[in-house]
Amino acid sequence: MLVIFRQPTLYYICIPTHIINLLMISNLTRYSTTLILLLFVIAAGSCKKDDSKDEEISTEVTAKLTANIDSDAFTATTIALDYQDGLYTLSGLAAGNKTLTLVFNTTSEGTYPLTFDEVSMLYSVGAIAWTGGPSASGTITITDNANGKLKGTFQAVLDELIFTGTSVNIASGVFEGIAY
């Protein structure tokens, strides 16, 4: 039932609420059905059977930064490489709030001694940090730079940043799969 009320210059159309509810349910059901059918068609179309018996062998290496620091294993769970002002900064964060950072000025293959300006290393645990100092030494070696990814090794003896006489020994350091 449709009722029209007239007032001067205004017309009101009143439709009983049960008719509005039926119209809304009908439209909602139609849209829901269409959406469900569309999703079914997409899902069915995205499934494909692979008749190939050949297995793909992945040669992709994920980024890795590991070392033994004072005989404790360091394995970075987060790795980042940044390039700024002619220097590459490779940083890794490991469990226990440990950070290892390598800084170098080239991606060319070769062995580079730590100079603590263009080639350096920093290791920190929380607020305590070790880097170059009176007895600090070490090298960063880039063994491969193919396909835009770096691979290499590193080792060092680093002094505590405030030069208290303590040092850390970084041995068997390896990085690989680092995109640059």
Is 157 within 8 Å of 137 (Cβ atoms)? yes
Pairing of strands 98-104, 120-125: antiparallel
> pTM of the full predicted structure?
0.66
Residue 95 is predicted with a pLDDT of 95
Residue 179 is predicted with a pLDDT of 94
Residue 165 is predicted with a pLDDT of 78
The Cα–Cα gap between 23 and 14 comes to 14
For residue 121, how many other CB atoms are within 10 A of its CB? 27
Q: Which residues contact 172 (CB under 8 A, 6 or more apart)?
A: 66, 67, 68, 153, 155
Q: What is the mean pLDDT of each run of 10 residues along the chain (180 residues)?
A: 49 48 46 50 53 48 92 96 95 96 97 92 94 88 96 96 86 96
Residue 75 is predicted with a pLDDT of 98
DSSP calls for 16-36: -HHHHHHHHHHHHHHHHHHHH
Pairing of strands 137-144, 110-113: antiparallel
Residue 134 is predicted with a pLDDT of 75
Residue 48 is predicted with a pLDDT of 53
